[in-house]
Amino acid sequence: MINERVEKAINEQINWELYSGYFYLSMSTYFETIGLPGCANWMRVQAKEEQFHAMKFFDYIIERGGKVTLKAIDAPPSVWESPLDVFEKTYEHEQKVTSLINDLVDLALTEKDHASYNMLQWFVDEQVEEEATASDIVGKLKLIGNGTSALFMLDQEFSKKVFTPPVKE
């Protein structure tokens, strides 16, 4: 049986992951409106990854005999200043998620819930990747500046991104 406090915290994290998906979908619509379909695709795939994260927590609670309690998902922002603004907000958002995952790890340790601690290591690793990816794109966009052709090349590259569920969950 899952520890009660950990169950409550993971339920809150499910809401955060679903919100993250919503957040990236909103960014995807922004890119559609400014004519960058590759970036829109990148965000759409990112939203799917967030849904995957939410379901990973969802399934874990069920596997441990707990109860999933879904709550309302907040509306994400819908106005963005530029592609750089979007990816800077993405990076900030992922840093926030990392701190939430770290809090969950701390809680699992405090509660001596070793199974949850082990499960959370997947997310610890995932956040390293999420932050590195967002930070890398922010760096590229800063270099690109107002270079339209370089931005279109990046957009082309992002059109190839596909959602691939991890083999080992």
How many other C-beta atoms lie within 10 A of the C-beta of residue 68?
15
Min dist CB 152 to ligand FEO, Å, is 26
Least distance between ligand FEO and beta carbon 146 (Å): 29
Give me the least distance between CB of 46 and ligand FEO, in Å please. 7
Residue nearest to ligand FEO (CB): 53
Residues that bind ligand FEO (CB under 6 A): 17, 20, 50, 53, 94, 97, 130
Which residue number, 19 or 151, has a Cβ lying nearer to ligand FEO?
19
DSSP state letters, 59-121: HHHHHTT------PPPPPP---S-HHHHHHHHHHHHHHHHHHHHHHHHHHHHTT-HHHHHHHH
For ligand FEO, give the closer residue by CB, 17 or 113: 17
At 26, the amino acid letter reads S
What is the Cα–Cα distance from 88 to 94, expressed in whole angstroms? 10
> What residues have CB less than 8 Å from 74, skipping those under 6 apart?
19, 22
Residue 112 Cβ, how far from ligand FEO at the closest point, in Å? 25
Contact (CB, 8 A) for 18 and 50: yes
CA gap 163, 88 in Å, rounded: 22
Q: In terms of CB distance, is 44 or 53 closer to ligand FEO?
A: 53
Closer residue to ligand FEO, CB minimum distance, 13 or 151:
13
Other Cβ atoms less than 10 A from the Cβ of 32: the count is: 15
CB of 60 to ligand FEO, least distance (A): 14
| CB closer to ligand FEO out of 137 and 151 | 137
